[in-house]
Amino acid sequence: MRLDRFFSEQTALSRKEAAALIRSGAVTVNGVQLRKPDAAIQPGTDAVTLRGKPVVYQKFRYILLHKPTGVITASRDKSQKTVLDLLRPEDRFAGLTPAGRLDKDTSGLLLITDDGQLTHKMLSPKSHAPKYYLAALRDPFTKQIQSAFRDGILLREGDTEEPCLPAESEAIAERLAVVELHEGKYHQVRRMFAAAGNFVEQLLRIQIGCVPLPPDLPAGSYLHILDKDANNMLMKSHISEVCEFARCYYSSYWIKSGK
């Protein structure tokens, strides 16, 4: 791979900016200063530095974001703030997109990546990543709601009503419930509770697959994670384990903080 291409893929630098830095002597490969942008290197094998700092090769990038409310899940928008706008300039790599969506009025866990294959798996009906939501409700959560969700509650779609896929749910307090989804209809959790005669006052996505939202990660902040961690989002957790996690870390402070 050309040295300037390596930097354009592994940093937020453009090819032109990378070439200028290489020519200035800011780059070393295996301890040797290189000044030719077209110099050939072996990504993942050669040790590359920029201004003395290692630049570690990554085929894909995985960013675990705690999306706040009021931000839309999109790569770009002319009038509204997007999840990519939350990234620092040095982390805005080409090709990054949200893996799925999270409604503007919903906060919580969102993966941003340039791994198209993983994104496809997360959204494909055959391997749709299970997602877990914590809902703060206006009225108490009941066994009737739990049964309706498990049976596949009907939602209005245009002139017809269509059933949702069976969804597990469980109360962790009188007006707090965890819901497990294997599909992603528009405003689905809110609409499911509305169809059951209840109302969602706050909604937080606390887990995707086996990857939870870190309790100490503030809304609007993010972490870089490894590919093995991102792939764990395709795994299924038992809802009882997610409920225990929610009880420990989210059932009280989340509501008080208004996330």
How many whole angstroms from its chain centre is CA 3?
Answer: 31
Contact yes or no for 88/200 (Cβ under 8 A):
no
Q: Which of 85, 91, 103, 227 is catalytic?
A: 103
- The contacts of residue 126 (CB under 8 Å, 6+ apart) are none
Q: Are 82 and 71 in contact (CB under 8 A)?
A: yes
- The span from the CA of 80 to the CA of 106, in Å, is 15
Q: Is 103 a catalytic residue?
A: yes
> Which sign, positive or negative, has the C-alpha torsion 10, 15, 17, 21?
positive
Q: How far is residue 164's CA from residue 256's CA, in Å, rounded to a whole number?
A: 31
Give the active site residues: 103
